[in-house]
């Protein structure tokens, strides 16, 4: 099939916020314990941080990380995780029916994030927690000295405040499963007062209010409208969450969920605009898509296991094994985030290690990259700068979740400082190759600096400890510049990252 696209140097969608490639990690399963932290592991340092995992994390160039939950945060007391480790309480984690030893708390996590070169984005407990708890947490984390909480931090060996800028006001408060679940109005008021208090303490922070847990919630999208009506002036972002799957084994429909996500983003952007107009507000609110990923392979079994088990410590949980099809899906979803970077400023892959994650780390054993690691890494490394508008002319298809879906899914970024134009192209066609022809106006690209491709694998193929590199990008061939045009052949079900300079 023929797939034509056109870009122009001056037709920018937006400057991409680097935080579009952020991540999320929660105290659940083996994300923290035996994920990033495993004292005694052959690759652990003297503090218990796994250096093999840290290396894989660093290679992703993750800008920010949301912590400590997730559902976990809604019954978590941050004070349990500070002070001498031997004196920390063991608690029952109500979200995942597990035992929390509190051997990792805010200071250990901050140390790990610092070494990984990642900025922290902290969530406060608005389930069982109060405004007072949130305020004390922030004082401990961000205030320099001279108060009870800041001096307590200093007595714990952390002289300088962390200066955390991003604060999430609870988690998924629309979900009936959430400990402390509230109605939209109730939550909106609590979020407003909490945001006000936190900003009084440190006016330089940004607050993130909970949107819907997904676009199939019965309260969506009224939830967003009602919450924002209560707190618009005191928040900076509204969070969106969505997890994806292909239970029906319908690849084209699965890929159509990328378009469906675009509608979700559009609906929330419209809701923000509606409330802004209604309130005659001056400030803008952006979207923080702070939980996204594929989650379906082991979801049903995990749910049953959690129900049945007896409060285990760091159990295997939500350890999805991703296949090649999932990698293609993630590539397309990241393209959608780039295309909507005018409204989506922060997005977090959920999660980072072991739990629905691009990195798997065996207890006492090796760490390796799942299939989805690769598109996430390439978007994070190369998808910086400006997002450009792309005019696409390619064959289209209809599916259950969306109509008129282009077989060519494409996003283009321009990093003027680095002099790089990057094309992220996914051919969703099951059987046909696409002859891609991109017209590039206003550029003077001289050469193809990089061409990486993921193609030719069985859609069900996965990586594993025994075969960690089965699915990985390879060097592509045949992409050529010709009189201001880029031409490339995209095999069926393939993903290409082509950089021009």
Shortest CB 316 distance to ligand AHR, Å: 14
For residue 450, what are the β-bridge partners?
A: 499
Shortest CB 73 distance to ligand AHR, Å: 8
My answer on whether omega of the bond before 272 falls inside 30° of 0, hence cis, is no
- What are the residue numbers of the active site? 172, 291
What is the distance between the alpha carbons of residues 333 and 257, in angstroms, rounded to a whole number? 8
What is the distance between the alpha carbons of residues 103 and 125, in angstroms, rounded to a whole number? 19
Taking the least distance from each CB to ligand AHR, the nearer of 171 and 261 is 171
Q: Which tokens in the block code for residue 95?
A: 């979200």
Element of type H or E holding 5: strand 2-8
Taking the least distance from each CB to ligand AHR, the nearer of 35 and 69 is 69
Shortest CB 119 distance to ligand AHR, Å: 20
Shortest CB 267 distance to ligand AHR, Å: 20
For residue 252, give every residue at least 6 positions away whose Cβ sits within 8 Å of its Cβ, in sequence order, or none: 397, 399, 405, 428, 430
Packing angle, helices 106-116 and 131-142, rounded to 10 = 50
Taking the least distance from each CB to ligand AHR, the nearer of 350 and 426 is 350
Shortest CB 291 distance to ligand AHR, Å: 6
Q: What sign does the dihedral 111-113-114-120 (CA atoms) show?
A: negative
- Return residues touching ligand AHR (CB under 6 A): 26, 69-71, 171-172, 213, 291, 350-351
Q: How many residues does the structure list for the chain?
A: 501
Q: For the sheet containing 391-393, what is the strand order? A: 391-393, 2-8, 434-441, 485-490, 480-482
Taking the least distance from each CB to ligand AHR, the nearer of 190 and 420 is 190
Taking the least distance from each CB to ligand AHR, the nearer of 60 and 75 is 75
Taking the least distance from each CB to ligand AHR, the nearer of 24 and 162 is 24
Taking the least distance from each CB to ligand AHR, the nearer of 243 and 397 is 243
3-state secondary structure of 167: strand
DSSP calls for 54-73: HHHHHTTT--EEEES-SGGG
Residue 459 burial (CB count, 10 A): 16
Shortest CB 71 distance to ligand AHR, Å: 4
Element of type H or E holding 200: helix 184-201
Q: Read off φ and ψ for residue 400, nearest 5 degrees.
A: -60, -40
| Exposure b/e, 296-314, CB count within 10 A at least 16 = b | ebbeeebeeebeeeeeeeb
Shortest CB 178 distance to ligand AHR, Å: 8
Shortest CB 311 distance to ligand AHR, Å: 17
From its phi and psi, is residue 176 left (phi > 0), alpha (psi between -120 and 50) or beta?
Answer: alpha
Taking the least distance from each CB to ligand AHR, the nearer of 92 and 430 is 92
Cα dihedral 436, 437, 443, 449, rounded to 10, equals 40
- Contact present, 103 and 33 (Cβ < 8 Å): yes
Taking the least distance from each CB to ligand AHR, the nearer of 70 and 127 is 70
**41-48, long-range: CB < 8 A, 24+ apart:** 41/363, 41/364, 42/364, 43/367, 47/108, 47/111, 48/103
What is the distance between the alpha carbons of residues 444 and 439, in angstroms, rounded to a whole number? 12
**Nearest one of 420, 293, 406, 283 to 349, comparing CA atoms:** 293
Packing angle, helices 251-279 and 222-231, rounded to 10 = 30
Residue nearest to ligand AHR (CB): 70
Shortest CB 357 distance to ligand AHR, Å: 10
């Amino acid at each position: 099939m023929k797939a034509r696209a056109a870009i122009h140097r001056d037709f920018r969608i937006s400057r991409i916020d680097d935080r579009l490639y952020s991540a999320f990690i929660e105290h659940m399963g083996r994300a923290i314990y035996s994920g990033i932290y495993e004292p005694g592991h052959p690759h652990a340092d003297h503090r218990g941080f796994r250096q093999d995992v840290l290396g894989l994390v660093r290679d992703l160039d993750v800008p920010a990380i949301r912590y400590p939950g997730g559902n976990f945060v809604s019954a978590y007391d941050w004070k349990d995780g500070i002070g001498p480790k031997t004196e920390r309480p063991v608690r029952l984690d109500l979200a995942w029916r597990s035992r929390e030893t509190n051997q990792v708390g805010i200071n250990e996590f901050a140390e790990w994030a610092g070494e990984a070169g990642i900025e922290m984005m902290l969530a406060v407990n608005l389930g069982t927690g109060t405004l007072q708890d949130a305020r004390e947490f922030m004082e401990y984390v961000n205030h320099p000295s001279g108060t009870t909480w800041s001096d307590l931090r200093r007595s714990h060996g952390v002289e300088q405040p962390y200066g955390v800028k991003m604060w999430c006001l609870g988690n998924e408060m629309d979900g009936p499963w959430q400990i402390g679940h509230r109605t939209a109005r109730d939550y909106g008021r609590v979020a407003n007062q909490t945001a006000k208090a936190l900003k009084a303490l440190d006016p330089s922070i940004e607050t993130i209010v909970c949107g819907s847990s997904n676009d199939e919630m019965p309260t969506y999208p009224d939830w967003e409208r009602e919450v924002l009506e209560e707190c618009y002036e005191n928040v900076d972002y509204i969070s969106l969450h969505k997890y994806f799957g292909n239970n029906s084994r319908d690849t084209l429909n699965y890929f159509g969920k990328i378009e469906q996500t675009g509608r979700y983003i559009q609906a929330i952007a419209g809701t923000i605009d509606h409330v802004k107009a209604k309130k005659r507000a001056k400030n803008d609110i952006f979207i923080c898509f702070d939980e996204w990923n594929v989650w379906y392979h082991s979801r049903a079994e995990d749910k049953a296991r959690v129900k049945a088990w007896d409060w285990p410590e760091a159990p295997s949980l939500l350890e999805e094994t991703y296949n090649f099809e999932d990698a293609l899906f993630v590539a397309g979803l990241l393209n959608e985030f780039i295309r909507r970077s005018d409204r989506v400023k922060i997005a977090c892959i959920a999660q980072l290690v072991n739990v629905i994650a691009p990195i798997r780390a065996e207890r006492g054993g090796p760490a390796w990259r799942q299939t989805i690691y690769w598109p996430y890494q390439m978007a994070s490394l190369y998808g910086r700068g400006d997002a450009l508008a792309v005019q696409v002319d390619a064959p289209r298809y209809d599916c259950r979740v969306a109509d008129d879906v282009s077989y060519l899914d494409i996003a283009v970024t321009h990093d003027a400082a680095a002099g790089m134009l990057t094309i992220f192209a996914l051919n969703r066609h099951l059987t046909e190759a696409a002859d891609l022809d991109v017209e590039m106006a206003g550029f003077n690209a001289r050469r193809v600096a990089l061409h990486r491709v993921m193609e030719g694998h069985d859609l069900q193929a996965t990586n594993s400890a025994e075969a960690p590199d089965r699915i990985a990008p390879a060097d592509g061939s045949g992409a050529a510049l010709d009189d201001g045009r880029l031409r490339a052949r995209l095999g069926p079900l393939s993903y290409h990252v082509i950089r021009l300079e």
